[in-house]
Structure 1
Amino acid sequence: MSIYAIGDIHGGLKALIQVLNKVEVKEEDTLIFVGDYVDGWSESAQVIAFLLELSEKINCIFIKGNHDVWCENWLETGHVDMTWYIHGGKETMESYNEFSDEEKKAHLEFFQKMPLYHIDNENRLFIHAGFTSMHGVEKEVFKETFYFDRTLWEMALTMDKSIEADSPLFPNRLKHYKEIFIGHTPTTNFNCDVPIQAFNVWNIDTGAAFRGKITAMNIETKAFHQSDNLPGLYPNEKGRNKV
């Protein structure tokens, strides 16, 4: 059995299928998705339909991202958040044009059931963005932090590499978990289109929303597979506006 962590998808169904084919996923494997399934490329609704079908065949864990929260709110209330609309929401709404009310209801339930984080039996944390509590995710006061925070990643990136884990200077946030797998902040922001490790934090969002790829990483071996760059798979589209 292998366990794979899969980075942000942002409506790129073609890229998702491509990377899963490269992984050659087996029925006994587990796939842990770190969120942001929608908003960006033109197949957001189709991504959700595909993931629902996939989860019937393979053990999947779907972490909720900030774009998923926005889409969930729209499916539930019909309200169009303007920040969401200009950062991929428009394309997501359009992708639902051919979906029935019954299908939309099933997608809403899918979003509603998503956990905000997952901790496995090896004490590895999977979360979309980050957390701020020095006591770990269970003590986080503001749950929105789980899908909006960037400070965890920024802290890990800028830490002095000479600091040992038993040093009083080592951040308490990083002491709670064996490893932390995140998305949300594209590695392409740092001129890199592959996963980046900073101490025990692995960032596997390799810029699928923009000009990057979708990544699937074996969490044990750290070997990874990637799709083609998304603009090449959707040549007549622009992808999501960068924020």
Structure 2
Amino acid sequence: MKRRLVIGDIHGGLKALTQVLERAKVTPEDTLIFLGDYVDGWSESAQTIEYLIELSGKQNCVFILGNHDLWCKLWLEKGATNPIWLAHGGQGTIDSYIKTGYITQESHRNFFSGLKNYYIDNNNRLFVHAGFTSMHGVEKEYNENDFYWDRTLWEAARILKHVKEEKQPELETRLGLYNEIYIGHTPTTNYGEIVPMNSINLWNIDTGAAFTGKLTVLNIDTKEYWQSDSLTELYPNEKGRN
């Protein structure tokens, strides 16, 4: 059976990625939708990108652009860095590119330049790294940075889940534009959870792989999910983004 699987933020954790894809028994028939933040965190950022490039040659993959990917893209294309990026995993990503020699590979620059701001499937399900703010949907979003940084959409869904009596139509309108929405960016570990979180029609698949959590693959049709081991177990001599 062909499946559609969504994958949370990887953050250079190649061991977690290969492990969870094996646990999900992924085949070339499956469509894989990645929510971004492939780099910055664990020591195998460049290797993760190389793996994803090879994987996309074997099966249908959709790659969303995350904020960490944007930083890495600017560095690979223009040599641009900033202190915030370097302090939040960027230096480790640079080190991995120098160590592996992938820094010279045009295929890596092509990978980053081909990342999507968002993806909407045939069932009006939206996949975006962080969120959006436009009340008219992602196609009318005036600030692209919201795709990579916004957390108001996630907070709106959490509010609506717990507010029973008082209607908040401005929040409902934004969420109601799509049948389902899938995001990463905001670790569920921030809320004491290491599994995907669902509020209204919004699913958060970032289960803290950058820190002490796990990497998650979720079947968007059945909501069955699989997880890697904790990244701290897979990389016991590293700190990730802690």
TM-score normalized by the length of structure 1: 0.95
Distance in 1 between residues matched to 2:140 and 2:224, nearest whole Å: 32
| Equivalence map 1:10-29=2 (5 Å) | 10-29=11-30
CA 1:164–1:4 in structure 2 vs 1: closer, same or farther (change >3 Å)? farther
Poorly superposed stretches of 4+, deviation over 4 Å: 167-170
Q: Which has the higher helix share?
A: 2
| Equivalence map 1:21-40=2 (5 Å) | 21-40=22-41
Amino acid at match of 1:31: L
| Equivalence map 1:27-176=2 (5 Å) | 27-97=28-98, 98-103=100-105, 105-159=106-160, 160-162=162-164, 168=169, 171-176=172-177
Deviation at 1:40, TM superposition (A): 0.2
Distance in 1 between residues matched to 2:207 and 2:196, nearest whole Å: 6
Unmatched 5+ residue regions in structure 1?
Answer: none
Please say if residues 9 and 214 of structure 1, whose CA atoms lie closer than 8 Å, have aligned partners that are also in contact: yes
* Percent identity (aligned): 59
Please say if residues 41 and 209 of structure 1, whose CA atoms lie closer than 8 Å, have aligned partners that are also in contact: yes
Deviation at 1:162, TM superposition (A): 3.0
Deviation at 1:171, TM superposition (A): 2.0
Aligned length: 239
- SS of alignment partner, residue 51 of structure 2: helix
- Supply the RMSD in Å over aligned alpha carbons: 1.5
Amino acid at match of 1:107: H
Amino acid at match of 1:156: A
Deviation at 1:168, TM superposition (A): 4.3
For 2:189, the equivalent position in structure 1 comes to 188
Deviation at 1:102, TM superposition (A): 3.6
Distance in 2 between residues matched to 1:27 and 1:163, nearest whole Å: 47
Distance in 2 between residues matched to 1:145 and 1:219, nearest whole Å: 23
Please say if residues 19 and 215 of structure 1, whose CA atoms lie closer than 8 Å, have aligned partners that are also in contact: yes
CA deviation vs aligned residue, 1:162-187 (integer Å, no higher than 9, x gap): 3699x846521111100000000000
- SS of alignment partner, residue 95 of structure 2: helix
Amino acid at match of 1:220: D
Distance in 1 between residues matched to 2:117 and 2:136, nearest whole Å: 17
CA 1:15–1:139 in structure 2 vs 1: closer, same or farther (change >3 Å)? same
